[in-house]
Amino acid sequence: MKPIVIAKNLTKSYTKGIRALDNVSLTVNQGKVLVVMGPSGSGKSTLIRTFNGLETFDQGEIDILGIKLDCNHNERKIQRIRKRVGMVFQQFNLFPHLSILENITLAPVNVQKRHRSEAEEYGMYLLGQMGIDSHAKKYPSQLSGGEQQRVAIARALALKPELLLFDEPTSALDPERINEVLDAMRRLAKQGMTMIVVTHEIGFAKDVSDQVLFMDSGKVIETSTPDLFFSNAKHDRSRKFLNQLDKN
């Protein structure tokens, strides 16, 4: 099994004394899906954002796809990582002034220097996969939230990434729109995509993930398989959190 992400002892604090990340270590192997859960402010977003250099860290090291990052923010290495790692945000963050297809082809054409026609063809294929190829000529504001998020996934896939990061991809969606995004993510997992997903969706975690990581106050409280975690969590805080989620 080839490890894609190895993080060792990551520590970060925004303000002195309060740790957003506290000695976090984890490994994700190729083709596996890691779900990160935890209450808000637990540091799970910070964690996932360090994996493509959107956040720096103070101590520890990360190895992503064989590229090693330490606390000295090396722009060139981060650039190399970003070309091979895709990211999907909570608020979609599509570019409002570009059409759907242009959103998708921007990076392949300008970062990977692929031919426009080839990039467009692949973009249309991805939109087809996401079931939104009929919207290719539209602009983000003309689409629903769920459709926008599927475009964002297609945009991340357009660089043919070896790892996909999802930062609460369904939290900003209307309840009836959540499943269309989760289904797309399920299909990706089936195709063998390596994914790290920050989410509160228990159903998705149960079905798809290979590993669940629970965080609180910057620390990893517990790592286990989804079966074990949801039926018989070891830790008090995990159980409390799951109870809370069930109530909602």
Partner 1 sequence: MFNINSIMIFIQKLRNIFFSNILNTIFSLVIILLISLAFLNTFEWIIFDANWKVVTSNLPLYAFGSFPSNEQWRPATWIISLLLLSIITLFGPEWKWLRQNLLLTWISTIPLGLYLLYGGFGLSPIMSRHWGGLTLTILLTTCSSLFSLPFGIILALCRQSSLPLIRKLSSIYIDVMRAIPLIAVLFFGQLLIPLFLPVGIEIDRVWRSILAFTLFVSAYIAEDIRGGLQAIPNTQIEAANSLGLNQYQIIQFILIPQALRIALPALTNQSIGLFQNTSLMAILGLVELLGVGRSILANPEFIGQYIEVYVWLACVYWLVCTIMAVLGRHLEHRMTMNQANF
Partner 2 sequence: MKKRRAIFYQCGICIFVISVIGILINNLTINLIRTDLGFNFSWLFKPASFALAEHPLPYSSSDSYAWALFIGWLNSLKVIISALLLATFLGTLVGFARTGKNSLLGLISAGYITIIRQTPLLLQLMFWYFIGFLGLKENIFIHIKNIFKISNQGIEFYGLTLSSEFSALLFGLGVFTSAYIAEVIRGGILSVPRGQWEAFRSLGLSEQKGLFSIIIPQALPAIIPGLTSQYLNLAKNSTLAIAVGYSDIYAINDTIINQTGRAIECFIILLTSFLLLNLLISNSMEIINKIIIKSRKYN
Residue 96 contact, options partner 2, partner 1, none, Cβ 5-8 Å cut-off depending on partner type: partner 1
Say whether 167 sits in a helix, a strand or coil.
Answer: strand
- Would you count residue 29 as binding partner 2 (CB under 8 A)? no
Residue 79 contact, options partner 2, partner 1, none, Cβ 5-8 Å cut-off depending on partner type: partner 1
Task: Give min distance, CB of 84 to partner 1, in A.
Answer: 9
Nearer to partner 1, 23 or 99 (CB): 99
State which of residues 30, 74, 144, 179 lies at the interface with partner 2 (CB under 8 A): 74
Residue 181 contact, options partner 1, partner 2, none, Cβ 5-8 Å cut-off depending on partner type: none
Nearer to partner 1, 122 or 241 (CB): 122
In the chain, the amino acid numbered 235 is H
Residue 4 CB-half CA count within 13 A:
22
Write down the residue that tokens 């369904």 correspond to. 170
Residue 74 contact, options partner 2, partner 1, none, Cβ 5-8 Å cut-off depending on partner type: partner 2
Residue 21 contact, options partner 2, partner 1, none, Cβ 5-8 Å cut-off depending on partner type: none
What residues make contact with partner 1 under the rule CB under 8 A? Answer: 52-54, 79, 82-83, 85-87, 89, 91, 93-99, 106-107, 110-111, 138-139, 141-142, 155-156, 159
Q: Nearest-CA neighbor of 212 among 194, 192, 226?
A: 226
Alpha carbon of 242 to those of 180, 185, 219, 228, 248: distances in Å? 24, 22, 17, 13, 10
Q: Specify whether the CB–CB gap between 224 and 238 falls below 8 A.
A: no
Residue 248 CB-half CA count within 13 A:
9
Residue 187 CB-half CA count within 13 A:
14
Of 69-77, 113-121, 148-156, 226-234, which part binds partner 2 (CB under 8 A)?
69-77
